[in-house]
Structure 1
Amino acid sequence: MGVLKSTSILFSALVTGSLMISGSALAAEDVNLPKTIAMTAYGTGSAGYTQMVSIGNLLQNEYGVSVRILPGENDVSRMTPLRTGRVPMCACGIASYYGSEGVLMFAGKEWGPQPIRVIATSTASFGLGVAVAGDLDVKRPADLKGKRVSYVRGDDALNIGTEAFLAFGGLTWDDVKKVEFPGYGRSFDGVIAGQSDTGFTMSVAPPAQQLAASPRGITWPTLDPNDKEGWKRLQAVAPYFQPHKVTSAAGIEKGSAWQGATYPYPILVINANEKSGLADGLIKVLIEDYDKFKDAAPGNAGYALEQQNTQWVIPFHDEVVAYYKEIGHWTDEMQAHQDQLVQRQEVLQKAWKGYKGGNPPEDDDAFRKGWMEARAKALEAAGMNPVFR
């Protein structure tokens, strides 16, 4: 499961550059939050952890709410306390989507599809995508045909991301030379050393910076937001990606941008049946006190109302939907999308219950294989794309 360490945060001593909070756009009586909030997040050096510290500072100073952050070393260790009820919220990554779908590391006996809901997400200036050695003439994903493309053993998220970018260009792994590496860092070492030509990464990550500074340099293939067919192919593989004008990326000069892709990080999720008022209170603070914390940590600007993708891949918590309706930020189209996502989770839950109750195989691999087949069959019967098989 991985190690989960508990850290109590003294919010009066924040990281350098944190914003001094004074005065709130909300009255204290308008925010009905638990007096103490525990959550899981990425490790202490991560952007997600730092953001949670800054938001915790706001909650402590303005509303007397204490926040305790449990940094998890991997996706499973971050999601497990949420599943078991040890914490009500996770500042997770894209694994929250995998968890809601019951796939990959969440396809095992102890997991299955998780009935989780989104409170808010952060979509900042960075992007995610396939970084390509700059000494190649690669301007768009289709240009990767015949190139050496990195495949990281045991890292589904990176490999699915790469596969999605290839799909945008009408390519598959069969159209490129797959070069396998034992880890994320090694894949970029391989690009710099001339063993491969690509690596999937966050646009501001140190490996991307190292590639940009190397003799090979770096380039980011353009994903034209007007290429509807390309985006349809990409999102058929990884529906959580969205077009994004990336202004923070290795090798991109200040004032320039890469027209690429991203998905939110972190993703604040809670269980669907959480009724403590956490979702209602926190979304109010994040939206209405936005100016009070937007500069307190890198990436906080991504919590702005206009950055919230209200038609993404995980449904919002009912309290968040009610709040958006209250402020006039909810449309019939958004509601239809929300209803479809909730229905998808219901189909998955029913399929999981039926599979578990039908004497599934004891062997872990056979269990996962059987579940993925049952899952796909149930979704297709409901007219939904399984995405994962």
Structure 2
Amino acid sequence: MRLAALALAGGAALAATAQTNPGLPATLAWSAYDVGSGGYNQAVAIGNALKQRYGVNLRVLPGKNDVSRTLPVREGQVQFSANGVGGSYLAQEGVFEFGAKTWGPQPIRGLLLNNSDQVLTVVAAKDSGIKTVADLKGKRVAWVIGAPSLNQNITAILAFANLTWNDVQRVDFGGFGAAMDGVINGQADAAFTSSISGKAYQLAKSPRGIVYPTIPHADKAGWARMNKTAPFFFPFMGAEGADLSKDNRVESATYPYPILMTYAKQDNDTVYAMTKAMVETYADYKDAAPGNVGWAVDRQNFAWVIPFHDGAIRYWKEKGLWKPEHQAHNDKLVQRQQVLADAWKAVNAGSHADDKAFAQAWMKARADALTKAGMDAVVTEW
């Protein structure tokens, strides 16, 4: 009996250890994409895992565009964001909507990147006759107001086929969900999305059906044009999502999504705890939403286009995964952010006739500062 009691006590102690909160507050808040998106669904699944494991409540705040997802992080209304390339990379760069006087380059920091088997690309209605990205010419393509990342992504994909927005019919929508609904309802023929989003599945099940315009990996010139506009894309054979599987892949393009990010000012211990919790609860949420497998430790990329937060770096170092080359890359990205911040400060110190004059001054100052520092400006006008 005594041995049995000791065994039970030992088991209880192990269970208690497994449930130990790594330092997260009782209530957490993330911003994420629209309700129904892949990113939102993943955040909800992660929230359930945090609740079950640690008793932590995760409040998910949906945002219809990049600005509405990043603003709550900047203002301290949420600690983190399951954001996209717009709310992370483009916010860091201070371009498009983030080039406005109220924004400018942001000190973005990453925790984890989701690299799943999905693709992030242009999808089209099957009845539109679109099979390759070149077939987008003359078709109705969704433009999402206030979402520079979605629009810039399409710009890059069009560039792959030597096309621009002037070669397609632009149809404006107020958000990601509205854009995909527009394709489903026949108001547009193509839009940018994740293959695992709820809207992608809705399109696939609709009378119009879904198709993924191919982006041939062997077309080196096309990829050079695409990466000049969007360096965060890479070739990928999509195997997860609406009408996709390991036996039915698509030759396409993708990048990490979502990106769990915050600001440099976020408390190191909280960031460390969030990173650790994401890893510790992975088994609990990996099958709970499409694409969650992408949060796995072995799928992390520590040399992407935004720097990692010091709190996250601390955890990755403990895991033995953060190498000197990662730190060197991170330092260069932090240096890039400093170059951008200095250029922004200089532009704001000047006087400008109106917002248009300010925008022109910032575009020039930004490109000049990065070029002087030996860095690629990537986006020079918007």
Tell me whether the two structures share a fold, i.e. TM-score over 0.5.
yes
Give the SS at the match of 1:277: helix
Matched with 2:302 is 310
User: How big is the shift at 1:115?
Assistant: 0.4
* 1: CA distance, partners of 2:281 / 2:324: 27
Match of 2:78 among 57, 79, 87: 87
In structure 2, stretches of 5+ residues that fail to align are: 1-13
Question: Is contact 2:86-2:148 (8 Å) kept?
Answer: no
Match of 1:241 among 230, 233, 241: 233
* 1: CA distance, partners of 2:220 / 2:107: 31
User: How big is the shift at 1:354?
Assistant: 1.2
* 2: CA distance, partners of 1:32 / 1:339: 27
Match of 2:358 among 344, 367, 371: 367
User: How big is the shift at 1:114?
Assistant: 0.9
* 2: CA distance, partners of 1:274 / 1:341: 18
Matched with 1:353 is 345
CA distance 1:45–1:24, change in 2 (3 Å): farther
Matched with 2:280 is 288
Deviates more, 1:247-256 or 1:316-325: 247-256
Please tell me the residue identity of whatever aligns with 2:70. M
User: How big is the shift at 1:112?
Assistant: 0.8
Match of 1:173 among 164, 167, 172: 164
* 2: CA distance, partners of 1:144 / 1:87: 41
Matched with 1:231 is 223
Question: Is contact 1:26-1:289 (8 Å) kept?
Answer: no
Match of 1:334 among 305, 321, 326: 326
Question: Is contact 1:147-1:197 (8 Å) kept?
Answer: no
CA distance 1:27–1:168, change in 2 (3 Å): same
* 1: CA distance, partners of 2:24 / 2:115: 24
User: How big is the shift at 1:136?
Assistant: 8.2
Question: Is contact 1:122-1:267 (8 Å) kept?
Answer: yes
Match of 2:257 among 253, 265, 290: 265
* 2: CA distance, partners of 1:198 / 1:269: 29
* 1: CA distance, partners of 2:236 / 2:52: 34
CA distance 1:310–1:224, change in 2 (3 Å): farther
1:42 aligns with 2:27: no
Deviates more, 1:344-353 or 1:300-309: 300-309
User: How big is the shift at 1:164?
Assistant: 1.2
Matches within 5 A, 1:190-205: 198-205=190-197
Match of 1:117 among 93, 109, 115: 109
Aligned-CA RMSD value: 3.3
* 2: CA distance, partners of 1:47 / 1:215: 22
Amino-acid identity (%):
42
Matches within 5 A, 1:45-64: 45-64=36-55
Question: Is contact 1:99-1:114 (8 Å) kept?
Answer: yes
Matched with 1:71 is 62
Please tell me the residue identity of whatever aligns with 1:60. K
Give the SS at the match of 1:347: helix
Superposition TM-score, scaled by structure 1 size:
0.79
CA distance 1:386–1:24, change in 2 (3 Å): farther
User: How big is the shift at 1:210?
Assistant: 6.6
- After superposition, the C-alpha distances for 1:188-244 in whole angstroms (9 at most, x for unaligned) are 857986x97644333345665576567876543333446555433212111222333
1:385 aligns with 2:376: yes
Question: Is contact 2:144-2:179 (8 Å) kept?
Answer: no
User: How big is the shift at 1:52?
Assistant: 2.6
Matched with 1:8 is none
Matched with 1:9 is none
- After superposition, the C-alpha distances for 1:16-74 in whole angstroms (9 at most, x for unaligned) are xxxxxx95885727x23334323323344443333333323333343343433333343
Give the SS at the match of 2:92: helix
CA distance 1:43–1:23, change in 2 (3 Å): farther
* 2: CA distance, partners of 1:322 / 1:309: 16
Please tell me the residue identity of whatever aligns with 2:378. V
CA distance 1:209–1:88, change in 2 (3 Å): closer
Tell me which protein shows more helix as a share of its residues. Answer: 2
1:298 aligns with 2:299: no
User: How big is the shift at 1:348?
Assistant: 0.7
Please tell me the residue identity of whatever aligns with 1:382. A
- After superposition, the C-alpha distances for 1:333-363 in whole angstroms (9 at most, x for unaligned) are 32332222111111111111111112344x2
